[in-house]
Chain A
């Protein structure tokens, strides 16, 4: 490995509103190396990479490519610097073949009529005859040649525009060089996730990228596919390309990378050589010291089993198990935290309970306190059926303005969404929802011009207060909240914690999905840790260690773990 620097970041800072995504980050990338970018959710990995690939522009700091300072304002600029990023969400046209996706947007090799003309004139001037007939013929020939140029350009343009059969020739060379296995004539919609990823990588290589950034490439792959991908990445590295791989799977970091850069809460903690570190040291760098947040936590009063989930399995659209044999019990008067890396099955779990997700197997049993804890089966029920069974389930979804509230409707109408089916009058009842809306605005200090303001005009924190307020007003016995403080400022966050605690003290079984481990440890009575759709353990919130949870999030306990490590 030669040690020339391909890309260097100096003091990069990026803020979104008041949220600091990256703060004073320094990073070097060498030619012919694989650098892992490690960090928890929200640690600013993707934001940092988006600044290199031209999607965001840094507020402060410099980017140096090959030692020269560069300005990257768009993906086009990044391509010009031979930087290519493979996003988590593939940018492919479904109805096209692999080939057509790869050549899409390709530009014609430059051909300037002016330059060519100057070349011809210079050439002709060299053999310019002096007199008479010869000179006339010389001039005529030159004139004809020059007039032909625009037509030659047009011809080249048409030839380039035509999609010839040989357009895949160069792609095949690249595929063969790095050992990609791909059918270039296959349509994208017929492809597996892994094949689509292959197309994305070839696309970036086809455009001449020397620096490849892969945003969590292994999240969607099977262990075998990961092996194949890593083999290809190593081959590209040996070919002199620089690769940055964003990940939070420690075993992959150890398996593939030469160096690891660790980010925590937007700050660069350290860059270490992979050979000189271990998983434990990396976890400590990743989660950092414990921060005291002073969130109140009362002892659970008379906890009773409220909701039991047994062996819940969900298969997503790609045929991958989003949840695999998840079992737990949520008790009344208790906050059950759910920790895990984003996309480990949190969403599917909550939606299965709420009746929004098709499940493949398992049991969800609710114990109704109104009927002396009689068991009610919630499996495969729709939300309406669940409500009709008298189950008072409230759900604060992750997607506030998509699933929770209707952005274009005002506060009153959004309150009404939960109540308009009640009553038998021909006309909807707006009076009670209006009182409720006013009550929530007053009690939760929602900053709004009035209850008739469309919800989308409110800020994120206020939207969340409205949503949580409405869900709590339904007097739930089970309250599920997914990332309720995401994007909220510190005061609004504490307001939400307080509301959740209030509900807990009222004897509600609260399920809280969160990403900040400090909050989870201080707020929750018990914490269930998910890893890749499986429960890797349930720990007591009192006395839980951040590192312990961090490790559980990134790998499963027991034999499962050993097997994955061997496969790599």
Chain B
């Protein structure tokens, strides 16, 4: 029982981890993308569209499904759809300098609504065969260790590796240094000769694309290819996780597992139905506590990027 709980906590965490890694990339450039929940929906939609196209291309014959190309098609389409969502957000906030919060919320509403509408036109028959490729464990569960850590599908590990790579790039490369400088003080970055607008666009599109994988994972792996209209709820937790992990994707790995565990706890701990929703609330409460602690400690490194939420005009001196 406990074993299954831990296993599923890690599995569930992938949704949050993709979402928060993407959101971190975007926020590091000084753009608070509250559209992440909507973008994750778009990612899920893209994944479904891609999967349909893939199935059609092989004549919907389950025997012809190739694991690698099946998953790659889903991933690529999810990233394109979500990346377009990020691009839209970027265009509105970078070029048109709209208010980031309002734009983000609009993207969330738009993304969730458009997804819920268009998904009804996507034929999802045969998705269970595809899902089997997503969930195929990299190692059969023989003992407790492999059952908890090695029995997941490929996306679970991709999320962790991606988070580590992003953390490394942020901390150890000039690319990360430039991006952080833009999020902290765009005028300084601009004066230093960094292409501020270019970096911002890349981080918005890339951040969106990575977040979208969370939606894909939720539908194709966690739900085995069936559909549920609750992706945006996961999206909000992903945004909260960015704060929880103080803008460090490597901490986000542990944070996402905690969030995942708390989210599925009611199902496993035999929690009374009446207080189930209270338990689901815990991740949000934890995020608030983290916010309180970081603001009390007031270490400059654990504060949000200084220019987060602010538009940058070069002419405004």
Residues A104 and B178 in contact in the complex (CB < 8 Å), given A91-B188, A95-B184, A162-B173: yes
With a CB–CB cut-off of 8 A, which chain A residues contact B306?
94-95
| Stretch touching chain A among B32-40, B146-154, B158-166, B190-198 | B190-198
Min Cβ gap A487→B in Å is: 15
With a CB–CB cut-off of 8 A, which chain A residues contact B193?
75-76, 79, 105, 107
Tell me if B189 counts as interface (CB < 8 A to partner A): yes
With a CB–CB cut-off of 8 A, which chain A residues contact B173?
161-163
Min Cβ gap A402→B in Å is: 14
Tell me if B115 counts as interface (CB < 8 A to partner A): no
Within 8 A of B (CB), among A89-117: 91-96, 100, 103-107
Is there contact, CB below 8 Å, between B300 and A93?
no
Within 8 A of B (CB), among A217-250: none
Within 8 A of B (CB), among A43-100: 55, 75-76, 79, 91-96, 100
With a CB–CB cut-off of 8 A, which chain B residues contact A160?
174
Min Cβ gap A533→B in Å is: 27
Tell me if A187 counts as interface (CB < 8 A to partner B): yes
Tell me if A420 counts as interface (CB < 8 A to partner B): no
Tell me if B238 counts as interface (CB < 8 A to partner A): no
Min Cβ gap A164→B in Å is: 9
Tell me if A136 counts as interface (CB < 8 A to partner B): no
With a CB–CB cut-off of 8 A, which chain B residues contact A94?
184-185, 300, 306
Min Cβ gap B30→A in Å is: 12
**Contacting A104 at CB < 8 Å: which of B181, B187, B300, B317?**
B181
Tell me if B301 counts as interface (CB < 8 A to partner A): yes
Residues A75 and B301 in contact in the complex (CB < 8 Å), given A94-B184, A162-B173: no
Tell me if A151 counts as interface (CB < 8 A to partner B): no
Tell me if B177 counts as interface (CB < 8 A to partner A): yes
Is there contact, CB below 8 Å, between A93 and B172?
no
Which residue among B173, B175, B177 has the maximum number of chain A CB atoms within 10 Å of its CB?
A: B177
Is there contact, CB below 8 Å, between B180 and A93?
yes
With a CB–CB cut-off of 8 A, which chain A residues contact B178?
104-105
Closest to A91 in B: B188
With a CB–CB cut-off of 8 A, which chain B residues contact A75?
191, 193
Within 8 A of B (CB), among A151-167: 160-163
**Contacting B191 at CB < 8 Å: which of A91, A95, A163?**
A91
- A-B Cβ contacts below 8 A, count: 62
For the complex, give the distance between the alpha carbons of A95 and B194 in Å: 18
Please tell me the size bucket of the interface on B. 20 to 34
**Contacting B181 at CB < 8 Å: which of A79, A93, A107?**
A93
Q: Chain B interface secondary structure, helix, strand, loop or mixed?
A: helix
For the complex, give the distance between the alpha carbons of A301 and B143 in Å: 99
For the complex, give the distance between the alpha carbons of A94 and B184 in Å: 8
Min Cβ gap A297→B in Å is: 37
Residues A100 and B177 in contact in the complex (CB < 8 Å), given A91-B187, A93-B188: yes
For the complex, give the distance between the alpha carbons of A75 and B190 in Å: 9
With a CB–CB cut-off of 8 A, which chain B residues contact A79?
193
With a CB–CB cut-off of 8 A, which chain A residues contact B191?
75, 91
Residues A163 and B177 in contact in the complex (CB < 8 Å), given A92-B188, A105-B194: yes
For the complex, give the distance between the alpha carbons of A93 and B186 in Å: 9
With a CB–CB cut-off of 8 A, which chain A residues contact B184?
93-96
Residues A105 and B300 in contact in the complex (CB < 8 Å), given A93-B184, A162-B172: no
Is there contact, CB below 8 Å, between A96 and B300?
no
Is there contact, CB below 8 Å, between A104 and B192?
yes
Is there contact, CB below 8 Å, between A187 and B189?
no
Is there contact, CB below 8 Å, between A161 and B185?
no
What is the total number of residues of chain A having a CB less than 8 Å from a CB of chain B? Answer: 22
Residues A93 and B174 in contact in the complex (CB < 8 Å), given A104-B194, A105-B192: no
Closest to A100 in B: B177
With a CB–CB cut-off of 8 A, which chain B residues contact A100?
177
Min Cβ gap A96→B in Å is: 7
Within 8 A of B (CB), among A184-202: 187, 189
Closest to B176 in A: A163
For the complex, give the distance between the alpha carbons of A187 and B299 in Å: 12
Residues A95 and B192 in contact in the complex (CB < 8 Å), given A161-B173, A163-B172: no
For the complex, give the distance between the alpha carbons of A91 and B188 in Å: 5
Min Cβ gap A391→B in Å is: 36
With a CB–CB cut-off of 8 A, which chain A residues contact B317?
55
Min Cβ gap A321→B in Å is: 26
For the complex, give the distance between the alpha carbons of A91 and B177 in Å: 15
* 0/1 interface trace, chain B 295-317, chain A, CB 8 Å (1 if under): 00000110000100000000001
Residues A189 and B300 in contact in the complex (CB < 8 Å), given A93-B181, A94-B184: yes
Is there contact, CB below 8 Å, between A95 and B180?
yes
With a CB–CB cut-off of 8 A, which chain A residues contact B192?
91, 104-105
Closest to A188 in B: B300
Min Cβ gap A14→B in Å is: 15
Min Cβ gap B194→A in Å is: 5
With a CB–CB cut-off of 8 A, which chain A residues contact B175?
161
Residues A104 and B177 in contact in the complex (CB < 8 Å), given A93-B185, A94-B306: yes
Which residue among A79, A100, A104 has the maximum number of chain B CB atoms within 10 Å of its CB?
A: A104
With a CB–CB cut-off of 8 A, which chain A residues contact B194?
104-105
Closest to A167 in B: B174
Is there contact, CB below 8 Å, between A96 and B172?
no
Closest to A50 in B: B317
For the complex, give the distance between the alpha carbons of A28 and B191 in Å: 26
With a CB–CB cut-off of 8 A, which chain B residues contact A187?
300
For the complex, give the distance between the alpha carbons of A103 and B177 in Å: 10
Min Cβ gap A335→B in Å is: 33
For the complex, give the distance between the alpha carbons of A162 and B184 in Å: 20
For the complex, give the distance between the alpha carbons of A104 and B178 in Å: 7
Min Cβ gap A51→B in Å is: 14
Closest to B187 in A: A91
With a CB–CB cut-off of 8 A, which chain A residues contact B187?
91
Closest to B192 in A: A105
Within 8 A of A (CB), among B175-221: 175, 177-178, 180-181, 184-185, 187-189, 191-194
For the complex, give the distance between the alpha carbons of A163 and B171 in Å: 8
Min Cβ gap B192→A in Å is: 3
For the complex, give the distance between the alpha carbons of A92 and B192 in Å: 10
Which residue among A95, A96, A161 has the maximum number of chain B CB atoms within 10 Å of its CB?
A: A95
Is there contact, CB below 8 Å, between A104 and B189?
yes
With a CB–CB cut-off of 8 A, which chain B residues contact A162?
172-174
Is there contact, CB below 8 Å, between A105 and B172?
no
Which residue among B188, B189, B192, B193 has the maximum number of chain A CB atoms within 10 Å of its CB?
A: B192
For the complex, give the distance between the alpha carbons of A179 and B173 in Å: 29
Closest to B191 in A: A91
Min Cβ gap A156→B in Å is: 13
For the complex, give the distance between the alpha carbons of A92 and B189 in Å: 9
For the complex, give the distance between the alpha carbons of A162 and B174 in Å: 6
With a CB–CB cut-off of 8 A, which chain A residues contact B189?
93, 104-105
Is there contact, CB below 8 Å, between B185 and A91?
yes
For the complex, give the distance between the alpha carbons of A105 and B184 in Å: 14
Is there contact, CB below 8 Å, between A96 and B174?
no
Min Cβ gap B182→A in Å is: 9
Closest 9 CB pairs of A and B: A105-B192, A91-B188, A105-B193, A161-B173, A104-B192, A93-B184, A105-B194, A93-B181, A161-B174
25 contacts between A and B (CB under 8 A): A91-B187, A91-B191, A91-B192, A92-B188, A93-B180, A93-B189, A94-B185, A95-B180, A95-B184, A96-B181, A104-B178, A104-B181, A104-B188, A104-B189, A104-B192, A104-B194, A105-B189, A105-B192, A105-B194, A161-B173, A162-B173, A162-B174, A163-B173, A163-B177, A187-B300
Given contacts A95-B300, A104-B189, list 5 more A-B pairs with CB under 8 A: A93-B181, A95-B184, A161-B174, A162-B173, A163-B172
